[in-house]
Amino acid sequence: MKTVMENLEPQSLWRHFEALSAIPRASEKEAAARSYVLAQAARLGLESSRDGVGNIVIRKPARPGREGAVMAVLQGHLDMVCEKNEGTDHDFDTDPIRLVRDGDWLKAGGTTLGADNGVGVAAALAVMESVDCAHGPLEFLFTIDEESGLTGAAQFPGGLLQAKYFLNLDGEEEGTLCIGCAGGLNTVARRKVASRAALSGEAWRIKVAGLQGGHSGIDINKGRGNAVRILGRVLQTLLGGMPLSIAAINGGSKRNAIPREASATIVIELAHQQEMELLVATVEAAVQSDLGAFDPGLRITLESAARPEQVWADGEAIELAGLLASQHHGVLAMSPDIAGLVQTSTNLAIVSTKEDEVVIETSQRSPIESSKLAAGRMVSTIFHMARFAVEHSGGYPGWKPEPASDLVRLCQTVHQEVLGTVPELVAMHAGLECGVIGEKYPGMQLISFGPHIVDVHSPSERLKISSVAPFWAFLTGLLERL
């Protein structure tokens, strides 16, 4: 039976990617994907081990004659971000990803694709079973729970790996070699909200939708809209113009994703309906003008909702709407050393109403530890002013670029020899496991690369098919020259 992978090369890589796409593998739910990887190692008769949290290390001997080559480890993460468009019927705990081939792009039907990092894992598995690549001794590291906080890498023990070179296969831009990344921090705020009985009036749901979202690091400087902040602006405008009650606010779903959708349940007297519709339309037009071509799909809609029994006290509603409209989101500083690289940022990621409590989740990024912590303090200060309790968690280190390392220079040479182009050295404003694991292995040299993937962490995620074969050629060529 024909599949969307028909006639794609290298066949082994695409075969493994297709198999992984059929396996649910949300963060913290990678057991089935881990079993698949271990089954491949057993089939090939390779040594495998597992650490205390579920990361896997597999070792493959060198091809005859290459025993003296420098040992390298190929690394990828088993989990994927699970995002879907509203109205998409998909259960990430049970359903396979529905792969769709669209010209030179592979995407999914209304969900994230999981090429981040399924294609890197598939490449490692293809190397593991290859009989053609004349590689030296290899290790393979498959980590868990990268997407929700790099916890697999954070808990991976020192001393388990023997390799000198660390090849992270989680890159997302063809023609580049990533040699550094940002560290991260989560800042979460909680506050009890006083409520009162909902009196007269009609209930409405205000919904912000149609935004692109995207990765809160890689896409943070692309001018895309933040649904949570926009919803705060809508509510703040309405509260300033008419009597209005708020029952709940919810938006965003992942700390490392720019929120694409957000909604609020409100109660308003019927006499103010026309005025409400006019104000919502006015804010929608204003925000559309602000976003322009950066995020042209914004929609702010109103629909009738079930009438709640309780609404927030009036003063609480005003404070919380103002906080969401005012809390910073986006770039805080650009790198003075690497053109176009974001140095420090913050993402207003999630707001949720849980009974009588509002929870707001944010994340901060920077390769500079002091800047990362300063951004966390800035966000915390604003939360404290709104009487929220604040907790910091999930901090992880950045990865300092070493452009003159032996590994980087070798990769540049191999890239030019195999692909005919000089790769661009880049650093990423996102968390990579290189920094976390590399900190535990002093002296290990690190690099990250991969095929071309766009709009990761969103249902628009897609993999450029024609970039996969060059990625494979570079990877195998590098292994043969170590």
Query: What does the block give as tokens for 108?
Result: 């999914």
**Tens-digit pLDDT profile for residues 404-451:** 999 999 999 999 999 999 999 999 898 789 989 998 999 999 999 999
> How many CB atoms within 10 Å of residue 99?
19
Beta strands 424-428 and 138-143, pairing class: unpaired
- Percent of the chain clearing pLDDT 90 (strictly above): 88
Q: What is the CA radius of gyration of the chain?
A: 24
Q: Among candidates 450, 447, 446, which has minimal Cα distance to 470? A: 450
> 271 pLDDT band (50/70/90 cuts)?
very high
- How far is residue 306 CA from its own chain's centroid? 34
Question: Active-site residue 146, yes or no?
Answer: yes
Beta strands 342-354 and 357-366, pairing class: antiparallel
Q: How far apart are CA 411 and CA 452, in angstroms?
A: 18
| Burial class of residue 469, CB neighbours in 10 A (0-12, 13-18, 19+) | middle
**Tens-digit pLDDT profile for residues 372-381:** 999 999 999 9
Cis peptide bond N-terminal to 250, omega within 30: no
**Tens-digit pLDDT profile for residues 71-115:** 999 999 999 999 999 899 999 999 999 999 999 999 999 999 999
Is the pLDDT score of 1 beyond 70?
no
> 475 pLDDT band (50/70/90 cuts)?
very high
Query: What does the block give as tokens for 166?
Result: 């660390």
**Tens-digit pLDDT profile for residues 356-398:** 999 999 999 998 889 999 999 999 999 999 999 999 998 888 8
Is the pLDDT score of 2 beyond 70?
no
Q: Topology of 11-182+398-481 in CATH?
A: Aminopeptidase (3.40.630)
Identify the active-site residue in 79, 116, 295, 455.
Answer: 79
Identify the active-site residue in 116, 145, 146, 173.
Answer: 146
Q: Among candidates 138, 128, 140, 12, which has minimal Cα distance to 76? A: 140
pLDDT of residue 206: 98
Q: Which CATH architecture has domain 185-396?
A: 2-Layer Sandwich (3.30)
Q: Across all residues in the chain, what is the average pLDDT?
A: 95
Query: Do 185-396 and 11-182+398-481 have the same topology in CATH?
Result: no
Q: Helical H runs in 240-385?
A: 273-291, 314-326, 369-385
Question: Active-site residue 83, yes or no?
Answer: no
Is the pLDDT score of 3 beyond 80?
no
Do you know the residue count of the chain? Answer: 482
- How far is residue 35 CA from its own chain's centroid? 24
Q: How far apart are CA 225 and CA 290, in angstroms?
A: 9
How is the chain split into domains, by residue range?
11-182+398-481, 185-396
